[in-house]
Amino acid sequence: MTDQMATFGSSKIQHGKHSNRAYLMRLAPDDLPGIVDYLDHLAITRGYSKIFAKIPAAAKKSFIQNGYDSEAAIPDFFRGEEKVLFLGKYFSPERMREKNPEIVEQTLEVALEKPPLNGEPTLEPHLSCRQMRPEDTAQMAELYRQVFATYPFPIHDETYLRQTMETNVIYFGIWEEDGLIALASAEIDRSGENAEMTDFATRPDCRGRGLANHLLVQAEAAAEKLGIKTAYTIARAYSAGMNITFARNGYTFSGTLTHNTQISGKLESMNVWYKALQP
């Protein structure tokens, strides 16, 4: 089960019971202030316990006045100039209160204590890395099924992978002989000149080999060639691995989104990290 995509005017919204939320993914300024009431109506009528909104900082007044709180922020996010805010509005006190504050704190401490990587990570000689192609989507979907029982987007679906590959997502994979063992992607926002580094998955028996570091470097390089100025990620706050990867690769922590995303059957809090790819 995955959530649905919807529009309000020119704005883009994901919503559904999977993550029990409405997610304003892209705000068109002309849709203010009406979209604020629309999101409330959507959440209340569908019984969602959170609205999550990613908005330009200039639009914050309408949201803050309507009960949203800022959970994270990234400077110079849009075209290397304007700040983005990640806002949350809760319709359930239980969802608003972090259930595992000690785990969130410990994960962040571990990540921030790690030394930065020196130089570009190298692959073991018998491994290869390349950009994924449409004919690879069957193996991609199979790897995602092995790693994630459920996911916010339908990455288990070959058709979805091909569609995103043809539009705004660049996927990279690492191969061991003929077997795909690790994946990651850069979701490109050309107009905003930012990219989300996401969908990292390593086959369980191949973890601990630094594969995510290599994939991240490849994804960053591809995004930078397209003129992307800012890279960011939304990483699971209860899992040290990806937080360590981004911290060691020069990303800055900017906040935690409480009980934000359903992954593999449970709602998880998520940490936001960012990095300037171009000065």
What is the arithmetic mean of pLDDT over 207-221? Answer: 96
What is the arithmetic mean of pLDDT over 233-262? Answer: 97
Q: Tens digit of pLDDT for each residue in 143-152?
A: 999 999 888 8
What is the arithmetic mean of pLDDT over 162-186? Answer: 97
Tell me: cis bond preceding 125? Omega within 30 of 0 counts: no
How are beta strands 50-56 and 82-90 bridged, if at all? Answer: antiparallel
What letters, b where the CB count within 10 A reaches 16 and e where it falls short, cover 201-238?
Answer: bbbeeeeebbbbbbbbbbbbebbeeeebbbbbbbbbbb
CATH of domain 101-276: 3.40.630.30
> Alpha-carbon distance 96 to 98, whole Å?
6
What is the arithmetic mean of pLDDT over 190-194? Answer: 96
Domain boundaries, the chain: 4-96, 101-276
pLDDT(241) > 90 = yes
pLDDT(125) > 70 = yes
CATH of domain 4-96: 3.40.630.30
Identify the CA nearest to 52 among candidates 81, 91, 108, 78: 91
Instruction: Tell me if domain 4-96 and domain 101-276 are identical in fold.
Output: yes
What is the structure's pLDDT at 1?
Answer: 57
Identify the CA nearest to 249 among candidates 222, 273, 208, 213: 213
Q: Say what the pTM is.
A: 0.95
